[in-house]
Each structure stands twice: as C-alpha cells, then as structure tokens.
A and B are shown apart, each in its own frame.
Chain A
Amino acid sequence: MSKTTGSERRLTIAEALREAIAEEMRRDDSVFLIGEDIGVEGGFGGAFGVYLGLPEEFGHGRIIDTPISEKVIAGAATGAALMGLRPIADMQYSDFLFECMDELVNQAAKMRYMSGGRLSVPLVMRAPVGTTNRGAQHGQCPESYFVHVPGLKVVCVSDAYHAKGLLKSAVRDPNPVLIFEHKLLYGSKGRAMAGGIELTCHVPEEEYLFPIGKAVVKRPGEQVTVVATHISLYRALAAAEELAAEGISCEVIDPLTLNPLDTETLWTSVRKTGRLVIVHEDTLTGGWGAEVAARAADECLFNLEAPIKRIATADVPLPFAPVLEQEVVPTTGRIAQTIRQLCQ
C-alpha cells in the first residue's frame, strides 16, 4: 500500500510499525518478538499483518511463536526484559490482556519498585483495540485499566508517523510500555469500514523517534479543546470540520501517551479555549477521560467556561448488531452535537 509521490512517502500504520520493528531489530540484537501467529510460515504475519516479511530477515530465533498462552507471552516478555533483553510482545486482541493481568500488573509493573530500583523491565506490549462488529470480547478498548497502574506506560497511536516514532521510543524505553493500536486504522480493512478515513500518512525515509509523553495538536482552534485517541480522533476531526462551517472553532489534540500524560500541552489548550471535551471508544465509567477531566478541573477550573464533557462508549458490553454497536460508540454526530451544545 506504500506509495511515494515526490518527497512524500505514505505508509499505513501496519507498514510503519513493521519498519519500526525491523529498524530496532537491526540496531539492537537484544530486541526480539514474541506472540501468537507472528512468524508461522504460511501464516498471516500476526493478526493484522504487521510482521509480514520479518521472519525472512530475522529468522525464527528472534521471532518466537507461542502457543495460545497469553500468560506465557507476558510472563516470558517480563522475565526476558528483567534479564536485559528487549521483547516486543504481541497480544492478538487487547481483550486477551485480561488473561495476563497478573504478569503485567503484578510482575512487570512492580518488579523495579519491589527490587528497590535494582532491576528494570524494558518490555513493549502491542495490543489492538476497537469495535469492528465482533461483539463483546473482540472489540474492547481496555487501555484505561493500564493507565491506572503505576509502573506502566500507556501509548495509543492513531497514525503511521507517530506509530513508528513511538514504537521505536518504546523499544528503547527502560520501562514496560503498552502500545494500543486501533484495528480500523491499520490500513488492512480498507477505508470503507473506517468511515472513509485516510489511513496513510507521510513517514520520512530517514530515522526518527517520537517521545513518549508528548501530545500533538492535530487541529488548532479557539473555542473548545477536544482530546481524542484512535478512531475517535478522526471522528473528532470530522466533527471539528463540520462545526467550523457553523463558526465553532475546535482545537483537536491527540494525547498519544495516556500515562505519563502531556498535561502541559493539554492545559495550555484548555486555558486558551475554556472548554474541554474528551472522546474515547473505551467505556465511560472509570475511563481515562475521567482522569483527564479530574485533573483538568484541578488545574484549569477557573479557566473553564463550561462543564467538562466526556464522550465515550456507553457502559454496556459491546453488542454485535452493527446498529447496536453504532448506537453506543462515539460517532462524529454525537461529538459534534455535544460540542455544539457546549458552545451555545
């Protein structure tokens, strides 16, 4: 899908992630991959094709296919990281992370602290999120569970440029980093299912890193700050475009890292606009939006001209029927309507 026009080199997120992994594996022989269905000959290169072509270059010694054994994937990654290797672990669907909560929450996140700072756990765990008409157990966005855990870093990527730069930073980070990627944004499902979003973006030929803990302003604006991740980011951008025609100016921010949060970028924007809307496909109650809202109230209350609003998936298990799924997830329409009311 990659195509070069002039100085522009457009990649999908899947391609950008693959490049990041290959570059890091070439740079550092302690980097290895571990997960289900990632290197099987004749297989599909991981659930979303991210690993296609990598076994041919790096061999099966560094691309380790596991049984369907999530506790082992996370446990082996944790143990290998404790011994100084740099595992990139793959969770086929983020819903399966609940199978290895002990390894991630009790072991990976706490080993450094429990050792009095004498050990570190430089592991990366990649996990796809997002509703795609697969019902309750293959569409969740569980990033908020991990935002809650001291000792873990949590990253959400939404485009190829930042996906590549952040994955490379995560591999070099001495801490456990979870990277959540949205299934509809990989580029493998086509634009139709993603609602016509442009799924490629320019990725420079030359090497670069993008720092963990830094947000980006995707669209500057004056009246309302909209913080959104993954596909909700694109829906927020579409809503902002729609609202611009009505004279409402939105500043749309992609936080990229949920923990540690780039509060400097967020509060600078909120102090300017006086309004804050947070959008995520994770469910509402206890979602990361609640944390952003609470902190914003703490830091920016007297700059606010309206209540802070959260737009999230309703507090229900994800339904299958497309009409039901669309009912509960944040849509462009819901986002636009909420902002409209807020700016009245």
Chain B
Amino acid sequence: MAKMDFDGLSTEHLRALYRKLVLLRRFEDRVYQLFLQGELAGTLHQYQGQEAVAVGACDCLNTDDWITSTHRPHGHALAKGVSTRAAMAELYGKETGCCRGKGGSMHFGDPEVGMLPAIAIVGGGNTVVTGLGLAFKLRKTKQVAVCFFGDGATNEGAFHEGMNFAAVQKLPIVFVCENNLYGASTSYHQVSPVVDVAERAAAYRVPAQIADGMDVLAVRRATASAVEAARSGQGPTLIECKTYRFTGHSRSDARGYRTKAEEAEWLARDPIPGLGKKLVEAGRLSAADLEAVDAEVSAELDEAVEFSRQSPDPAPAQAYEDVLA
C-alpha cells in the first residue's frame, strides 16, 4: 500500500492538489460555455483531461521557477499561479487580463508567477527555454525552468536543438512532454518511428521518465526528481506524460479521427474522480470535502467571470504601446 500513503503528502497538500485539478477542469468547462454563448472571441485550445500534468509538475516548482507553455496554456497558467480572475479577464480581452488583453487564449502568462507569455508556435518554447536555463546557470540562482510541449513538438527541429544544447550545457531544465497521442488530428504513431517520445532523450544522453499523465501524484513524483537533478546541476530531464485531451484540438474539432472506444477508455482514467475516489477511500477527505471543493471553485469562477465582465476594455490607443520598451 505504498501508493496509498500519497507520497507522504499532508491532507492539506492533497486537498490543494485536488482543488487545482478541479479548478483547471471547471475553468475550461465554464470557458467553453461562455464561448458558445458568444461572450469570448477567437478560438480555444482546451485542457480537459490533461490537468494532472500541469498540476503535478507545477507543484514541484517555486514561484521564481519559470515555465514555458504552448497554444494550450490555460491549465499551465492556473497551475503555476496565474490568478483565475486575470486568466478569465484575458479571455475577455480586458485591461485586467494577465497580458492586459494583448495575449489572449494562446499567450497566457505572468512574469510575477514565473510564466512567459505562452508560445503558440509548436516547439517554440523548446529553444527559448534554454535561455532561461542559461540565465539561471550563469547567475547561479538555483532556479529551474520547465518547458511544456506536446507530442507534436517532438518532430520539430526546435525540440532536438533545445534538448541537445540543454544537455551539453547541463542546463537546469525539465522538458515535460504531454503526449496526448495526437498533434491536432494526426496520430503521433502515424508520423513518428518511436513508440515513446522518451526514447528520443537517449540520443542526447538526457535521462527520461515516462509518467502516467492521468495521475497527478505520478507526474509530481517524476517532476520532483527531475527538478532536484536540475537544481543540483545535473542538467535536464525529459518526462513524457501519457495523457489525453477530452475535447477536440480546438473549438471547431469534431474528433472524427478518434474512436469512441478509445475516448471511453481514457475518460475512465479521468484524473479528477480518480484522485477523489482514492482520497475518500483512504479516509483523507470525505465526499462532503470534495463537494466543498466543487462549490469553492464554482464560486471562484463566478467571481472571475463577473470581474471580467465588469472590467474595462483596454483603451484603443494601447494597441500602439509595448511594441518597444
């Protein structure tokens, strides 16, 4: 029953992890509704199903550790500490958004909590993150950078150039691949000769781990050891999290390239009820505690939506500001 001691985490810590998972899920569910109601512009790349990756990985980081994210950044942002209000307001394109309305869904970020504006070019973060690592190394700060990317990024040159450089320079970086099996509609296996993304790390003599991306504690364990290695000067690690997005690639995707059976199989591994059930069975939280978390998150989202609706639009003249410092 080693697993059922929840890696020695306190009940308070476990509740916080569970609450984060629920926050990420409900945020996306709410945003989807708002989008359908016509309140939000643009498109959405949603994170439902992959929450355990962002929450598990970011739980191992300090506020002054940094992350890079992708075109699917909502979960990473909330997990790293971007406020629910600032995230929601950004989707509304408001002055109070985390990027003051200039980033939008695909560029969530907040320097105060260690998140670059998310990089929505596939693989784009994999080279930029080496600069973060290099700065920490040159400054001897003991900070760590985590680079989130999808399976699709691993066939970009940037993935290989970034990993190679991080390895030869022993940079304090954790490369976290969220392998959700599809790059947009294309199956990873259809376009990649390797079975696991993790195999590719060997080419760069980078240690690799495969984690169950539907289990927040598994992701947390893998990341914790990688972060420890990075902080102590041992260089980068690649963590491949096997996960699944419960929605389409973007708002308009009807998911005709996936089978219902495959979707059902992954839905059965939903990280949220999975953890909730274990916590209740172990007597760490009660069913009422889980309901209380739901209610808290729901109220937090109500408040964030109301805040966003009430927030001012950016003044049109702000379009011309911040091009140059």
Contact = CB atoms under 8 A, between A and B. Distances in A.
A130 B324 CA distance: 28
B138 interface: yes
A113 B127 contact: no
B136 interface: yes
B12 interface: no
Interface string A80-117: 11111101000000000000101100110001111111
Contacts of A174: 324-325
A103 B116 CA distance: 14
A78 interface: yes
Interface stretch (B100-108, B178-186, B237-245, B252-260): B100-108
Interface in B95-145: 97-103, 107, 109-111, 116-117, 119, 121, 124, 126-136, 138-139
A288 B134 CA distance: 35
A118 interface: yes
Nearest to B147: A79
A78 B127 CA distance: 9
Interface stretch (B31-39, B74-82, B156-164, B213-221): B156-164
Nearest to A87: B131
Given A66-B165, A117-B322, A120-B325, A102 B132 contact: no
B99 A107 contact: no
Nearest to B66: A83
Contacts of A113: 102, 322-323
A62 B98 CA distance: 34
Q: How large is the interface on A (under 10, 10 to 19, 20 to 34, 35 or more residues)?
A: 35 or more
B134 A64 contact: yes
B321 interface: yes
Interface of A: prevailing SS: mixed
B295 interface: no
A111 B116 contact: yes
Contacts of B103: 114-116
B132 A79 contact: yes
A153 interface: yes
Contact of B109 (A61, A115, A122, A153): A115
Given A112-B325, A150-B323, A76 B111 contact: no
Nearest to A116: B100
Q: How large is the interface on B (under 10, 10 to 19, 20 to 34, 35 or more residues)?
A: 35 or more
A80 B128 CA distance: 8
Given A72-B130, A83-B136, A111-B116, A175 B324 contact: yes
Contacts of A103: 124, 127-128
Given A67-B168, A103-B127, A117-B321, A80 B135 contact: yes
A112 B323 contact: yes
A69 interface: yes
Contact of A79 (B110, B129, B321): B129
A46 interface: no
A116 B101 contact: yes
Given A62-B138, A117-B322, A83 B132 contact: yes
A74 interface: yes
A195 B103 CA distance: 50
Contacts of B119: 106-107
Contacts of A175: 324-325
Contacts of A114: 99, 102-103, 107, 109, 117
Given A67-B168, A111-B117, A116-B322, A79 B102 contact: no
A85 B138 contact: yes
Contacts of B99: 114-116, 118
B74 to A, nearest CB: 15
Contacts of B138: 32, 61-62, 80, 85
Contact of B130 (A75, A102, A116): A75
A106 B124 contact: yes
A151 interface: yes
Interface string A123-146: 000000000000000000000000
A66 B325 CA distance: 28
A77 interface: yes
B322 A77 contact: no
A66 B161 CA distance: 10
A265 to B, nearest CB: 20
A71 interface: yes
A53 B299 CA distance: 63
Interface in B275-325: 321-325
A119 B117 contact: yes
A85 B128 CA distance: 13
Interface in A273-321: none
Contacts of A119: 111, 116-117
Interface of B: 66, 97-103, 107, 109-111, 116-117, 119, 121, 124, 126-136, 138-139, 157-158, 161-162, 164-165, 168-169, 321-325
The 9 residue pairs across chains A and B that have the minimum distance between CB atoms: A79-B131, A75-B127, A116-B100, A83-B135, A117-B322, A174-B325, A80-B131, A114-B117, A76-B131
Given A76-B127, A80-B132, A103-B127, 11 more contacts: A64-B169, A67-B168, A78-B127, A79-B130, A83-B132, A87-B131, A100-B127, A107-B121, A118-B99, A150-B323, A151-B324
